[in-house]
Structure 1
């Protein structure tokens, strides 16, 4: 496979060109105009930021991509799927409120926000993939309804996958609640008995009679449970929890397979901003100081090459004093593995390359 082109520019601005203008020039140069957007629905997948976290991308960057799609005749919308865990984005109403609070409104970005997997995270499309680990990916329906798929990624560290970039934003981010549980878990959900109030919501929502109430507390029969995650969404006390017992290597491989399910058979384009490189995911309700200085903006048609280029760029940066990375032993000569030693980010890219999603070989073109 020949090298993929990855376009790059620094965060240095001038009196003649500010950062939004520079981002527009980057994505135009990278070839976004080669996609036929005319009267096409274009999903712009991004992370709206967990309330309390301030490392997420500003809506100003999203507005640039939205305006570019409109100029090309497309119908853009910003989108993400609900989370598996407890927080401010667990259902579509809370998720929209969180997005609006963090500045993602039609007035600031120029388009609407659609939560792709619906009110309770159950509005999904089953996408055949026949992968090594995933046979049928469960993807938020609005993502799959789009004609064109674009990602706008905040590239940062991650405690389970090494880093979060394009593939994490695509694979994990586009999974419905059941899809996220499939990636995170080798098993089925369980009930924290101390928090359970025996309200029967899980019993009512389950189509397989898996939850059982005994002595006022729920438990889940794993022989009947199919792992759809609906019980997690309806529990008023967040007592139903995902097992999160899959190994990080398999998690990374499942993310790659889910990513392929999302992008195959339609035009796609990817943008990553390597700024505020926090050590952990934007799903945290807080963010630590960055582990390295800001690097720049990257764009490519190949999400695998894009992630590799961003990772290489971060690993060339000096460590910021006082950061989580600065406080860790530097034994791996790799910023992400040194920051989160229980995971290896290369596994996801190697598997993505193996299944034909893209290549790690890239030509970096600076503009």
Structure 2
């Protein structure tokens, strides 16, 4: 497979988010979903609305989210909407909680390693294209969160999240699922959403506020590394692999905490499985656009 192109800038600003999208030379058609993380109550690390405003408006996008499968301030549509008001997403953008009504949309994964179906928010069908706007950081269960996590856990309905966490058994205690089966399910689920949009999907990832914890943690650890920059690609496998490589090659000693979490949780298997499913390639060319 030909190497994927991953664009990088060390400039962290509202304008550089737009610049990195435009570096792709792609105009997303029709009604555009912008998948990002709305941030759990109490989290301080998530990408704030004012930071992403220019990019979301550049693509005339609707911010989309789905409810969680664990207890918190985002596990029902009513609570999730309240939190999105509190975090000012609704002040800046049109917002759509995609699983606010059922039934879920079911995406088949015929070549899935662990799961053969992915249950996503019903409203996904209302969009012609998607911008996946990721915040790269650690994750207590997946090891790290990036583009592939946004595609998998992020686009899954509340039921779909339980299905992925249970590696195909939504009734299973998500905290006791075999770790390799869980991250394999993430890679499978991610492939189904990427393929659903059939080339009408792009990825922008901000490597800022890099904590060992996810934005879903209301008491997340403070950042362990300095801000690194912003990346973009049309390939979710390549952009996540590039982020991982940048972390490993960094001279920032804070990386040791993040690497330990990624390795403990077998996180790179999310990337491996997604590549094996034909979602993209781990071979990439990093193009500096500073």
Q: If the length of structure 2 is used for normalisation, what is the TM-score?
A: 0.92
**Residue pair 1:186, 1:244 contacting (<8 A) in 2 also:** no
Q: How does 1:351-362 map to 2 (within 5 A)?
A: 351-362=273-284
Q: Structure 2: give runs of 5+ residues left out of the alignment.
A: none
How far 1:304 moved relative to its partner? 0.5
Q: Deviations over 1:225-262 (max 9, x none)?
A: xx4x7xxxxxxxxxxx9443222222111111111211
**For the residues of structure 2 that align with 1:24 and 1:359, how far apart are their CA atoms?**
24
Determine whether 1:251 maps to 2:251. no
2:108 paired residue number = 128
TM-score computed with the length of structure 1 as normaliser:
0.73
Unpaired runs of at least 5, structure 1: 13-18, 71-75, 189-226, 230-240, 326-334
Structure (1 or 2) with the larger CA radius of gyration? 1
List per-residue Cα deviations over 1:163-187 (Å, max 9, x = no partner): 1000011101111122111111158
Write the mapping of 1:73-112 to structure 2, written as runs, cut at 5 A: 76-105=61-90, 107-108=91-92, 111-112=93-94
Which of 187, 212, 219 aligns to 1:279? It is: 212
Q: 1:138 to 1:9 in 2, by over 3 A?
A: same
Aligned length: 286
- Report matched runs for 1:1-367 at 5 Å: 1-11=1-11, 19-33=13-27, 35=28, 37=29, 40-70=30-60, 76-105=61-90, 107-108=91-92, 111-118=93-100, 122-130=102-110, 131-186=112-167, 227=170, 242-266=173-197, 267-319=200-252, 325=257, 335-336=258-259, 338-339=260-261, 341-367=263-289
Query: 2:264 is paired with a residue of what secondary structure?
Result: coil
**Could you say which residue in structure 2 is the equivalent of 1:234?**
none
Cα deviation code 1:310-346 (max 9, x no counterpart):
111122223456x982xxxxxxxxx42x135531222
Alpha carbons 2:204, 2:231 under 8 Å: kept: yes
Q: 1:271 to 1:356 in 2, by over 3 A?
A: same
Quote the offset at 1:61 in angstroms.
Answer: 3.3
Higher relative contact order (CA 8 A, sep 6+): 2
Query: Which secondary structure does the structure 2 equivalent of 1:32 belong to?
Result: coil
8 Å contact from structure 1 (residues 275, 296) kept in 2: yes
Aligned alpha-carbon RMSD (Å): 2.0
Describe the SS at the equivalent of 1:264. Answer: helix
Cα separation, 2, equivalents of 1:24 and 1:248:
36
Q: 1:187 to 1:77 in 2, by over 3 A?
A: closer
Q: 2:113, 2:273 within 8 Å by CA — same for their partners in 1?
A: no
- Shift in Å at residue 32 of structure 1? 2.9
Is residue 270–residue 299 contact of structure 1 (8 Å, CA) maintained in 2? yes
Shift in CA distance, 265/115, structure 1 to aligned 2, threshold 3 Å:
closer
